[in-house]
Chains A and B, each alone.
Chain A
Amino acid sequence: MSTSEVPKPVAGVGGWLDDRFHGARGVRVLMKKVFPDHWSFMLGEIALWSFVILLLTGTFLALFFVPSMSDTVYHGSYTKLNGISMSEAYASTLKISFDVRGGLLIRQIHHWAADLFMAAIMAHMLRVFLTGAYRKPREVNWIIGVTIFMLGMLEGLFGYSLPDDQLSGAGLRIFEGVLQGIPIVGTYLAYFLFGGPFPGTAIVPRMYILHVFLIPGLILALITAHLFIMVHQKHTQMPGLGVTERNVKGQPFFPYFIAKGQAWFFFIFAALTLLSTFAQINPIWLYGPYTPVAISSASQPDFYMGILEGSLRMMPAWENNFLGHTISWSVLIPALLPLGIVFTGLYAWPFFEQWATGDKSFHNVNDRPRNAPIRTATVMAAVAFYGVCWAEGANDVIADRFQIPLYTVTWIARVLVFLGPAIAFWATRRICIGLQRKDAAELAHGYESGIIRQLPNGAFIEVHKPVSPEKAAVLGAKEPIELLPGPQAADVNGIPAPSGQGGMGWARARANRAFAETVPPEENHNGHENGHAAVTASSRAEELPDAEH
């Protein structure tokens, strides 16, 4: 293509910018960058675009919202509450909902987007974990992502508490009660955060500045870093034909990825708008203004705080008093333990896995979850734990809708919170191993083609055909994990490795064995179309060495 065919805008504007920023080569590299295609790679973008929508709708809301707890007597469009004394924050939210055209729509989009943001992060996090995409060189990006998740929880908590309605106010009361119960510093923390006793008049303006300025700024910075790192390191890709650690196959950023990204943004925005048109969310006019005198049944926080709520409900009574001091374990344990376990596990897992497998190599190709049974089983156990705590947060709604006695639901949760993860771990690991065996068999014996053939001796067999090269690449994409030398292994001089000694050494060897367990692929029989019946059950058993411990 000669320069005379280049359109004026590209040449003109491009030249103007390049004169100042030296961008020609760099921008071209960016435009040509290849992005692999898989539906599960788009989950993170749901979170990204939801965040953008949150910023846009949030700005609109901030033009009308009054972050003040000063009392005002309501006389407005929602006549049922006329004459009630309420905070300015609540009154301004009523005004946005009933007196600003499009106000209710934007409010609902904002709240649905917040929920979708958190749900998408969780789904994206699960996908990254299940495919091992947090491995080297992406550990830092994983940590950034987990931090965004944590900040998102805080941001949502402060956001839905801003309107100062009965439901979110009850949540704040619980928050203050938990804070107050922290040993030594609890009462000070509570008084400093709330500017005095609960509820005070400081908490809404303070949450406001955290919610519209500080935390979004942090999240924005982290998202930018997250994306930059992802582009710089290039996205991982799913195993397939021709996919190696040293290439990326997909479509270039310009024009394909931009076009698809634009379409995806519109769909996400459309989904949120559809929800906001047809599904009412956070109807604060029904909740009423906050008063510490009142409470409603079915008081739950937004779903991403559900794990905290559930663990508070699940915990039996337990408190110790000694020497004039009180520690309420029934508050402290639910506040710290479940989220502590989850976040510690999330942050530490890439490094734990590296330690257990001794795997320090680069990974740009994703694992199929079944090929990493311990990893997949661990995350399913975590999901079970998280899920039980989360579901218990809705225990009174579950009891009411499904007519199960209230205490029974709690007792089930108390048992399942321990039993569930154990069963999930065991079952998931078995399922992964089973799927691996199925893959190995399919790779070796081919797939059932639906063609029935009659053998000369009268028997019928189904013809197996070899799988396509693409499928074979996917089925065979299992990287074996090396067994580290055990504590007994010694070098040429007979000196055992120091890292293998002691309790940590034993733990490492044990973990390594668990991770390295593998199902070796069967020898490729290149698909046999006859004599299949000759392969008996016993000879099949010989071909599959038992990889269990």
Chain B
Amino acid sequence: MSWIIARRRRPAAGYAALLLGLVVVAAIYAVVTGTGGAQASPDQAQQGIAAGKALFTEACSSCHGQDAQGTQTAPSLIGAGAAAVDFQMSTGRMPLKEPDAQAPEKPVPFSQQQIYDIADYIASLGGGPAIPTAQQVSTAGANTALGSQLFSANCAQCHGFAGAGGALTYGKYAPPLTNATPTQIYEAMLTGPEAMPVFGDGTVPPQAKRDIIAFIVQTRNEPNPGGFSLGRTGTVTEGLLVWLGGLGFLVLIAMWLTARRRQPHSTLDSSVTGTPNHE
């Protein structure tokens, strides 16, 4: 401690204090904004459509209507299909907490089985796209090259070239694709949630969907050989870094290079010059 106190007036002390402060603030921030994962309720509810109907009445009917026919606040779900329900609920977008430009992802309050039950119930009302099977979303043997071409032409304009997300109008956004499961990606293409267009099996055949999923999964799992990715959003972050990191760092070095030389302590000369003096 006295070691620190003895050096508190050194020029470097200010920089050290600033650095310590920044590190402390960053640590507090990281702890406080820790990411939460989706928490599935461990409940083991009953099977089937009846169970789904009960859950629906409890959690969804206040906005979507008693018979899912829709109200002023929410659209009809008749014909929406099981796939749409699974997508919206397994990503936590539904149930919606508060109206916003777009339903955000949030922690999932239901178990996967409960979601399947609700999906079965909705499907029983009017059909619609079914939840894809594991085989349908399997990326074994997929053509990632074709997937990359399809992704570039139909998806990248919203989701970004590497799936980092992007802005839409009026506060909407295309979310990053870092966490979506292959099933969720398939379902999103199939059902066109919110502002996303529908990419049905007629225009994007199932194999093409698998190719796209394979591309997305491989891209997001791929390491960045050049260093930190800077968000994979392109040149904006690169420009920021070259100014703040590159030029900023070099300006500090330049200040050091041209600073006045402090006269060193000599064992014979007891007069100490060069202590900081403030005007």
Contacts and interface: CB of A to CB of B under 8 A. Distances in A.
Q: Do chains A and B touch in the complex (CB under 8 A)?
A: yes
Contacts of A46: 247, 250
B75 interface: no
Interface in B207-232: 215, 218-219, 222, 224-230, 232
Contacts of B166: 297-298, 396, 400
B160 interface: yes
B233 A298 contact: yes
B257 A104 contact: no
B139 interface: no
Most A Cβ at <10 Å: residue of B168, B219, B241, B247: B247
A176 interface: no
18 contacts: A80-B219, A115-B242, A116-B247, A280-B229, A291-B152, A293-B153, A296-B152, A296-B160, A296-B234, A297-B158, A298-B166, A300-B236, A302-B235, A302-B239, A303-B242, A397-B236, A400-B166, A468-B279
Interface in B126-185: 143-146, 148-149, 152-153, 156-162, 164-171, 173-174
Contacts of B162: 286
Interface stretch (A146-154, A215-223, A271-279, A378-386): A271-279
A112 B242 contact: yes
A407 interface: yes
A279 B160 contact: no
Contact of A271 (B156, B158, B249): B249
Main SS of the interface on chain A? helix
A46 B143 CA distance: 46
B245 interface: yes
A300 B235 contact: yes
A399 interface: yes
Contacts of A403: 171, 173
Contact of A303 (B157, B225, B235, B251): B235
Q: Is the interface of B mostly helix, strand, loop or mixed?
A: helix
Interface string A454-497: 00000000000001100100000000000000000000000000
A296 B143 CA distance: 21
Contacts, number: 199
Given A263-B257, A297-B159, A300-B235, 10 more contacts: A80-B144, A81-B145, A119-B246, A166-B161, A268-B250, A271-B249, A279-B230, A280-B225, A286-B232, A471-B279
Given A275-B241, A279-B230, A407-B170, A39 B251 contact: yes
Q: Which of A97, A123, A286, A295 has the most CB of B within 10 A?
A: A286
Interface of A: 37-43, 46, 79-84, 97-98, 104, 108, 112, 115-116, 119-120, 123, 166-167, 260, 263-264, 267-268, 271-272, 275-283, 286-288, 291, 293-303, 306, 394, 396-397, 399-400, 403, 405-407, 442, 447, 450, 467-468, 471
Interface centre among A39, A40, A112, A298 (most CB of B within 10 A): A298
B124 to A, nearest CB: 38
A167 B161 contact: yes
B152 A166 contact: yes
Given A119-B242, A271-B250, A279-B227, A297 B167 contact: yes
Nearest to B170: A405
Interface of B: 101, 143-146, 148-149, 152-153, 156-162, 164-171, 173-174, 215, 218-219, 222, 224-230, 232-236, 238-239, 241-243, 245-247, 249-251, 253-255, 257-259, 278-279
Contacts of B257: 39, 42, 260, 263-264, 267
A365 to B, nearest CB: 18
B159 to A, nearest CB: 7
A283 B161 CA distance: 11
A119 B247 contact: yes
Contact of B227 (A80, A115, A280): A280
